[in-house]
């Protein structure tokens, strides 16, 4: 069974609460003779039930979440038009729920529009003073909920970014590499554009740490990442794969083009002596993606090519075999 996302549980929970709240009121209003409002409640309950079943079965919320928000806002505005200020307090949870169903900026536009329409409705039903009080309390709810949702989303994006970036070098980490590999392999099945991996492993990095210390070793890693980033294209991606290992994902690049890129990176690194005054070399493996292979197989071929470069004497670039070996 697929694990449900937080967005799914939010939509399912709000749909269930709407159904739980609307169904009894529909019955009560039918018995009281408020047929129009009862029909609106029944319509809302049916929509809530349908959305619940759809999300439960499909796990899809992209269309359903905005639909629930719009129907809820429109339905409550209609009820206030029919029943007046007595039904106003139901609007507050609906306004708050909109920010769980929509992104902050679309939510603030939709909720503010609903408040403006309600204010026009109330001004013809109650005193100006009561209308202003209602409008102020509704707008305050909109503002505070928007600020909370905006701050929450901003922090979420920051945490997401931090979880995918190597703190020392600023390159992507192994998790980010895996996500990008899976994404590009999926796209490759459709567009068949070439793409290649460059596996770079520093030669004798332990000697640098032993001779100069780990702080200098960290500076060397940062410098190597800078040199790689300066050489690759804007469409390429750099990742720190391990302690002294880096990975470049060369998008839309065949094996010949990527081999030239890998050799240029190797030469830049070995010629640069900015940190220790001594040359730093790298052994490099290159592998082009083959249709049908998994990310692990693709990575393994690049890894095997890198070790071939080390076995040949280090400070070299080796191209992976065309057929993946058994993993």
Residue pLDDT, tens place only, 33-43: 888 888 888 99
Q: What is the pLDDT of residue 322?
A: 67
**If 0-12 CB within 10 Å is exposed, 13-18 middle and 19+ buried, where does residue 293 land?**
middle
113 with 214, same domain: the answer is no
Domain containing 179: what range?
Answer: 174-319
Q: What is the pLDDT of residues 75-99, one digit of tens each?
A: 899 889 888 888 898 899 999 999 9
Give the DSSP letter string of 265-287.
Answer: HHHHHHH--TTTSS---EEEEEE
pLDDT (average), residues 138-160: 91
Q: What is the pLDDT of residues 192-245, one digit of tens each?
A: 889 999 999 999 999 999 999 999 999 999 999 999 999 999 899 999 998 899
Looking at the structure of the chain, the number of domains it has is 2
pLDDT > 90? residue 30: no
128 with 201, same domain: the answer is no
Beta-bridged to residue 285, according to DSSP, are: 199, 318
pLDDT > 70? residue 325: no
Beta-bridged to residue 165, according to DSSP, are: 172
195 with 285, same domain: the answer is yes
Q: What is the pLDDT of residue 326?
A: 40
pLDDT tier, 323 (very low <50, low <70, confident <90, very high otherwise): low
pLDDT > 60? residue 130: yes
Q: What is the pLDDT of residue 84?
A: 85
The residues annotated with a catalytic role in the active site are: 244
Q: Which of 140, 162, 184 is the last residue of a domain?
A: 162
Name the one residue in this structure whose structure tokens are 């047929």.
Answer: 35
pLDDT tier, 161 (very low <50, low <70, confident <90, very high otherwise): confident
95 with 185, same domain: the answer is no
Q: What is the pLDDT of residue 275?
A: 86
Helices 91-101, 104-123: crossing angle, 10 deg rounding: 160
We report the CATH number of the domain holding residue 286 as 3.30.70.270
pLDDT tier, 315 (very low <50, low <70, confident <90, very high otherwise): very high
Whether 169 maps to a domain, the answer reads no
Strand order in the sheet with 237-240: 237-240, 245-251, 195-202, 282-288, 317-319
186/250 Cα distance (integer angstroms): 16
**Of all residues in the chain, what percent carry a pLDDT higher than 70?**
98
139 with 233, same domain: the answer is no
């Amino acid at each position: 069974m697929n694990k449900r996302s937080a967005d799914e549980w939010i939509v399912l929970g709000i749909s269930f609460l709407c159904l739980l709240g609307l169904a009894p009121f529909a019955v009560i209003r039918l018995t009281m003779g408020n047929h129009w409002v009862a029909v609106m409640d029944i319509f809302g309950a049916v929509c809530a039930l349908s959305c619940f079943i759809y999300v439960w079965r499909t796990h899809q919320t992209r269309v359903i979440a905005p639909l629930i928000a719009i129907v809820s806002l429109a339905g409550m505005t209609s009820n206030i038009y029919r029943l007046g200020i007595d039904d106003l307090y139901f609007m507050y949870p609906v306004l708050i729920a909109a920010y769980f169903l929509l992104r902050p900026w679309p939510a603030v536009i939709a909720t503010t529009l609903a408040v403006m329409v309600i204010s026009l409705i109330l001004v013809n039903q109650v005193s100006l003073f009561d209308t202003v009080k209602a409008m102020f309390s509704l707008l305050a709810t909109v503002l505070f909920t928007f600020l909370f949702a905006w701050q929450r989303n901003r922090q979420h994006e920051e945490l997401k970014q931090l979880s995918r970036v190597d703190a020392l070098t600023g390159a992507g980490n192994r998790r980010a590499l895996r996500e990008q590999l899976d994404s590009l392999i999926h796209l490759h099945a459709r567009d068949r554009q070439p793409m290649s991996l460059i596996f770079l492993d520093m030669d004798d990095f332990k000697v640098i740490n032993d001779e100069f210390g780990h702080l200098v070793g960290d500076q060397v890693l940062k410098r190597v990442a800078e040199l790689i980033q300066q050489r690759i294209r804007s469409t390429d991606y750099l990742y720190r794969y391990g302690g002294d290992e880096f990975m470049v994902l060369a998008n839309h690049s065949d094996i010949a083009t990527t081999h030239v890129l890998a050799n240029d990176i190797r030469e830049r690194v070995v010629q640069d002596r900015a940190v220790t005054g001594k040359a730093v070399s790298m052994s490099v493996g290159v592998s082009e993606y083959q249709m049908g292979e998994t990310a692990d197989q693709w990575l393994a071929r690049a890894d095997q090519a890198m070790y071939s470069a080390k076995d040949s004497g280090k400070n070299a670039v080796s191209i992976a075999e065309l057929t993946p070996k058994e993993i």
